[in-house]
Structure 1
Amino acid sequence: MGVLQLGMLVAAFDQTALGVALPNLVADLGGVHDLVWVVGVNLLAATVSAPLWGKFGDMYGRRRALQADLLILLVGCVLAGAAQSMTQLIVFRVVQGLGSGGLVVLSLAMVSDLVPPEDRGRRQGALNAMFAIGTGLAPLAGGLLAQYASWRWIFYGTAALSALAFIGSSVALRVPAPHGVPRRGFDYIGLGLLAALSTCLLLSVSLGGPSWKAWQVIAYIVLAVMLGGLFLARERRAPYPLLPPRLFGSTVFALLAAVAFLMGAAKAAASVYLPLFLQIAMGSSPFGTGLIMVSLVVGITAGSLASGELVSRTGRYKPCLIAGTGLTSVGLVLTHLLDARSSSWTVVGTLLVFGAGFGLTAPILTLAVQNAVGYEDLGVSVSGIGYFRSLGRTLGVAVVGTVFAVRLGHNLAEEEAIRDLDIAGLRADPTLLDAYTLSIRETYLGSVGLALIAFALSWFLREIPLQPGATPPETADPLRTAPVPRTSIEEVERILSAAGNRQALRSLFSRIAETADVRLPPQACWLLITALRESPLDLRRLKQHSVVDASIIGNAVEALEARGLARASGPTLVLTGEGREVATHLTVSRRRILHDVVGTWAAEEHATVEALLERLDKALTRQDDLPPG
């Protein structure tokens, strides 16, 4: 879990460290009018690539996908740090976004590979809390670097964190690879349509403003509608859709996608323009701005941890979603009421409320959708929620920027003359200061409306209880019943995929022993069945070729000898008559459990399923998968 937390930290730094350094960046490279693109293209690239990384994780394993993600991000950060013009920086920010797009969705999806359902809420809360901590540390670090070194070191620092996370994932991260599950194709046409659709939406809202041209905006909106229709048609026909239409057949997924979009858009105003408000209206330095933003992080962290703990204790997540969206709405109202005369403690209290609401909500979006889909859709569903949340942020940044420009033009007739003034110049002129402060405050009204809509939608969520029979099958228990229909072949392939996880095997053999009414530890059950298949069993060869510590194998041998089920003679383990009887009983129990899982199948599938079950038998008794003691 430590590697996943580091991945969330990298994602937080990539998304938030640059905000407080934008004035320094503009002073160095120029191009103040391109600032919205510096932020927007990064978010857009991350948004579009999120489903791609989720699908790659399903196809090739989430660990490999995470490592590729980190490498691309590292390259993008190094290039962005070396950029010599605003155009170069925008291009390299696209590379950064392509790399960072999968960090959050892959980390959250891997929780389902490593953690049983009853602990998933707590673990996902911890990951979201780490992201919140990174969101607070990043502005502090970015402010320090911008104030005392250079904005370029923000990118180099993120690159260093990416390298550290890559090394950690190579050394310490053990996620079961999709053994036995075929590598299916990918809907690249769908991805292209989705990218074009998202770009048109971004352009349509970015071109609004005091000098907007109606025909351009309308053209992009019409094009976006056409691309949306083509994307839906493509996804219905595609053999391996990017966002399977069946996901939207689930009211849970559809509602959570809408809430994710609205919350992402609502948060954009606070995340982008709140630092600007602190520096313009309150005269805070870049580092001082980051320091005040820590209160937002404290609120998000507390909310995330509380959300995970409440779900783990009660098994319910809908109350957290309702409370979170409600608190977010209240926090945005309080943010709108801030002005230049507000005290620092008032700002801190406001950010605590807003952060707590967002923190309560964030883990629930992922948890609830994971609880409503099947194992084969875990990655794509989580990345789908991530896509809508990121799309909300991307469009939210553009919309807020447009609203700010419109309101500034309304509040200050001489806007054209002051576009390039620095913060010191703004604060020296009370008229300019009041106009900017009022315009920033007015941007929050739209965010309040979005949060209130999310709050209303939360009441309509159909809550599915978090219980073993209703949650997605986990590697912690590879035979847990799935909540959605599957063919027998798909079910056995899923079990084969989970069989590579020793934690899953421990759970499996505990269940086999319980079903057979045999009082033996799981590692002893494994050894007993293995000895029946390979009698007599060469213990020396077993210890040499097993990844499990020899002492654990020794403990299993002692347990069998103590029960009179086996006898060790030198390096050989021989089963007694009673041992053969118990081992046979365990084997029958295991086979019965497997048949219960796959249920009935069509006659034409019978031979294939039997062959897969035979593969599963071998996979569950291979020498490198002894359940740990």
Structure 2
Amino acid sequence: MVVKQNRNSGIQTTNQITGKRKWWALATVMMTMFFSSMNQTVVSTAIPTIIGDLNGFELYAWIFSAFMITSAVTVPIYGKLSDVYGRKPFYIFGLIMFAVGSAVSGLAQNMLMLIIARAIQGIGAGAMMSMPRATIGDIFNPKERGRWMGVIGAVFGLSSILGPTIGGWITDEWGWRWVFYVNLPFAVLALIGVLFALPKVRTSEQASIDWIGSFLLVLGLLPILLGFTWAGSKYDWSSPVEISLFGAGIIILILFYIYERKAANPVIDTKLFKNQIFSTSLILGIFVAMGMFGATMFLPLFVQGVVGLDAQSSGLVMSPMMISFIVGSVVSGQIMSRTGKYKKLSHISAILMAVGLFLFTQMDVNTTYPTVIINMIVLGLGIGSLMPLLNIAVQNAFPYKMMGTVNATQQFVSSLGGVIASPIFGSILNNGFADKLETSLPKQLMQMKEKMGDVNPQALLTKEAQEALATNFKKLGDAGIELYNSFLHAVKVSLTTGVHHLFIVAVVFGCLTFIGTFFLPEIGLKDDDYFAEANKDTASTEKAN
């Protein structure tokens, strides 16, 4: 197979990577994914300690939402432009922005500053989310890709295993700020790999950024996210503020859709949705994201607040899920590469995911470590095998020259599931916790609570917070310790109730995922002829010029 290349400059006319360079490119992709995924797990483990230090439980969900909304919006922009100008410049820009965001996050003095820094991180993460998956497509054809996507999944799982352990240790020993600073050396290593391994691409085709579409997309998503965040806690669901937020967001998103249909270079190409594999995979991706975020985003909070582990130990509890994620990803990749099919496998994966989420709903204040581990293994097997399957199915359904755009659009819509899930589940947790606490506290403690003001699970998250709380109760005399223990028990029960409610919602999305797999069409995975059309089109264009 031939790829047009300038011998002197190393500049290519397509993104395809062949020869020895593809193995260096694969190593770079694996290193970048290791770096980005480890960051996510390191931060997730430290979040309870962070909100305890910065006193920001009510803004808990926005630490995730700020990151996800900026990464989601930039993903389709990176994908479309990388099809024309190559992956390399967007890798570089993304790594630099991510490093800047990490440095500012470590310096944050309040929740607002941290949320802004996480938004900057997200701008860089958009490239790190879309470029590695597209680069795998530049190296391997769809049938080979199943096997290698399994290996990539294993890298992701390994980093996720190490991340919580490292993040917990850093949080306990050095402080939570260092979970952000540790990103910086990894960013430098990944940047060196990108500069060395990825080709430059030069083409006569031109592309422009859809700034108006991007602005409308952000403008439409923000009020909806604010609405979900405040609903039921700050404002009633039926309040004028909530109705205005949701109404404004929906109207702007409708305008976004109308504009995108006529835009010359839309940030989201609405024509892609006419392909049934694409549209079905996107819906499934949203369901998977909603279920996964509902179960895993708040799991460290449950483990630290109810089971009673510190930050480092709660990170270790996440490891079984990541190990099962590796196993599921590798096995499903091997099956797809050998059979060239994926539909039956999607059914099995979705069943495991739904069962795993259901098991989470059975956890309560008396749940032990082995129970949490078993539940996470089942969920990890399902999600680990389903996520790469959906990615390969979509890439296989379109020509290679569209891969960056298609891959990025899929990633964007899937990310929206997480963006929407974060404030929704945060609201469910807060409301469930507050309602249960009102009925769990004895009358004497209810009177004390009124003097204490709002109470949230921050009282459980750090040793310092618990010691300060215990000191206040000791001032009440001999009965103070007994009251303190009763108070902590009531908070644990209330936190368990809030988490239980969001797990139930996650189960609904797990069941919808299983039903949706029956609507996923199947096309046999393509071999090397997948690249042939792109090379032919490039040669024809050069001859015409």
Question: TM class, shorter-chain normalised?
Answer: 0.7 to 0.9
Matching residue of 1:379: 404
Distance in 2, matches of 1:129 and 1:300, equals: 8
Matching residue of 1:532: none
Distance in 2, matches of 1:13 and 1:404, equals: 26
Letter of the 1:23 partner, please give it. Answer: P
Alignment of 1:205-604 (within 5 A): 205-213=228-236, 214-413=239-438, 417-419=454-456, 421-423=459-461, 424=466, 429-468=488-527, 473-474=530-531, 480-481=532-533, 492=536, 494-496=537-539
- 1:19-58 Cα deviation digits (max 9, x unpaired): 2222332343333322222221111111111112112211
Matching residue of 2:198: 174
Matched residue count: 484
Letter of the 1:446 partner, please give it. Answer: V
Q: 352-361 or 437-446: which moved more? A: 437-446
In structure 2, relative to structure 1, the CA distance for the partners of 1:225 and 1:89 (3 Å cut) is same
User: Any idea what SS the aligned residue of 1:296 has?
Assistant: helix
User: Any idea what SS the aligned residue of 1:421 has?
Assistant: helix
User: Any idea what SS the aligned residue of 2:297 has?
Assistant: helix
- 1:252-305 Cα deviation digits (max 9, x unpaired): 111111111111111112221111111111111111101110001011111111
Matching residue of 1:192: 215
Confirm whether residue 26 of structure 1 aligns to residue 51 of structure 2. Answer: yes
In structure 2, relative to structure 1, the CA distance for the partners of 1:134 and 1:198 (3 Å cut) is farther
Runs of 4+ in 1 over 6 A off after TM superposition: none
Deviation at 1:381, TM superposition (A): 1.1
Letter of the 1:358 partner, please give it. Answer: I
Matching residue of 1:540: none
In structure 2, relative to structure 1, the CA distance for the partners of 1:412 and 1:232 (3 Å cut) is same
Deviation at 1:481, TM superposition (A): 4.1
Distance in 2, matches of 1:277 and 1:211, equals: 23
Structure with more contact order per residue of length (Cα contacts < 8 Å, sep ≥ 6):
2
User: Any idea what SS the aligned residue of 1:429 has?
Assistant: helix
CA contact (8 A) 1:242 1:380 kept: no
Letter of the 1:613 partner, please give it. Answer: K
Letter of the 1:102 partner, please give it. Answer: A
Distance in 1, matches of 2:300 and 2:48, equals: 11
- Which one of 17, 27, 44 corresponds to residue 2 of structure 1? 27
CA contact (8 A) 1:259 1:457 kept: yes
- 1:539-563 Cα deviation digits (max 9, x unpaired): xxxxxxxxxxxxxxxxxxxxxxxxx
Distance in 2, matches of 1:45 and 1:186, equals: 16
User: Any idea what SS the aligned residue of 2:206 has?
Assistant: coil
Distance in 2, matches of 1:452 and 1:289, equals: 28
User: Any idea what SS the aligned residue of 1:239 has?
Assistant: coil
CA contact (8 A) 1:321 1:458 kept: yes
Matching residue of 2:543: 613
In structure 2, relative to structure 1, the CA distance for the partners of 1:465 and 1:417 (3 Å cut) is same
Distance in 2, matches of 1:227 and 1:132, equals: 38
CA contact (8 A) 2:363 2:500 kept: yes
Distance in 2, matches of 1:29 and 1:433, equals: 21
Matching residue of 2:81: 56
Matching residue of 1:102: 127
CA contact (8 A) 1:365 1:385 kept: no
Q: Which runs of 5+ in 1 are unaligned?
A: 475-479, 483-490, 497-608, 616-629
In structure 2, relative to structure 1, the CA distance for the partners of 1:460 and 1:376 (3 Å cut) is same
Superposition TM-score, scaled by structure 2 size: 0.85
User: Any idea what SS the aligned residue of 1:342 has?
Assistant: coil
Distance in 1, matches of 2:49 and 2:95, equals: 27
CA contact (8 A) 2:87 2:198 kept: no
Distance in 2, matches of 1:436 and 1:614, equals: 67
**Identity of aligned pairs, percent?**
26
CA contact (8 A) 1:187 1:242 kept: yes
- 1:123-168 Cα deviation digits (max 9, x unpaired): 1222222222222222211111110001111111112211111111
Distance in 2, matches of 1:28 and 1:408, equals: 20
Letter of the 2:198 partner, please give it. Answer: R
Distance in 2, matches of 1:319 and 1:193, equals: 39
CA contact (8 A) 1:210 1:409 kept: no
Matching residue of 2:7: none
- 1:390-431 Cα deviation digits (max 9, x unpaired): 111121111111111121222121685422524346876222
| Between structures 1 and 2, the one with greater helix share | 2
- Which one of 15, 29, 34 corresponds to residue 40 of structure 2? 15
CA contact (8 A) 2:144 2:527 kept: no
Distance in 1, matches of 2:204 and 2:348, equals: 40
CA contact (8 A) 2:286 2:416 kept: yes
- 1:58-94 Cα deviation digits (max 9, x unpaired): 1311122111111110111111112222222111111
CA contact (8 A) 1:48 1:198 kept: no
User: Any idea what SS the aligned residue of 2:92 has?
Assistant: helix
- Which one of 155, 160, 183 corresponds to residue 206 of structure 2? 183
CA contact (8 A) 2:85 2:203 kept: no
Distance in 2, matches of 1:55 and 1:614, equals: 24
Confirm whether residue 71 of structure 1 aligns to residue 130 of structure 2. Answer: no
Deviation at 1:614, TM superposition (A): 7.4
CA contact (8 A) 2:84 2:203 kept: no
Q: Which runs of 5+ in 2 are unaligned?
A: 1-25, 439-445, 470-483
Matching residue of 1:505: none
Deviation at 1:205, TM superposition (A): 0.9
Give the RMSD, CA atoms, in angstroms: 2.0
